[in-house]
Amino acid sequence: MHGKGNLDGVVSDTIGEGAVKTLQKTDGTINYEELNIFVITEKKSKFKRGIIIATHASTKYLNKPLHDSRATDLIYVPWSPNELDEFLSEHNSEAVKIK
């Protein structure tokens, strides 16, 4: 994501406002039991290896996590249906809908 300010909305709805506040106030890391959450922005990150969740990333920025050798998988949450269609047409990927 472009910056820690982009954590509001989908991310805070998913992991909770308390977790987002911790990510915004710290070095962008939360350790909860065996789960480590890192915020990767266009600046530095302590992220070493794992799944990258790219929420509302611009097409230009999305190329970074797509080619990041530290990523074991990528979960992309597009801003609009058009972005999803574009992503699916360009990449060997599968859309998953959660109801």
* Mean pLDDT confidence for 54-75: 83
Q: Whose structure tokens read 């962008």?
A: 28
Alpha carbon distance 68, 45 (integer Å): 13
Does 2 score more than 70 pLDDT?
no
d(CA 5, CA 26): 13
The predicted model scores a pTM of: 0.64
Q: Which residues of 30-64 are buried (b: 16+ CB within 10 A; e: fewer)?
A: beeeeeebbbbeeeeeebeeeebbbbbbeeeebee
Residue 31 pairs in a beta bridge with 36
Position 64 confidence tier, pLDDT thresholds 50, 70, 90: confident
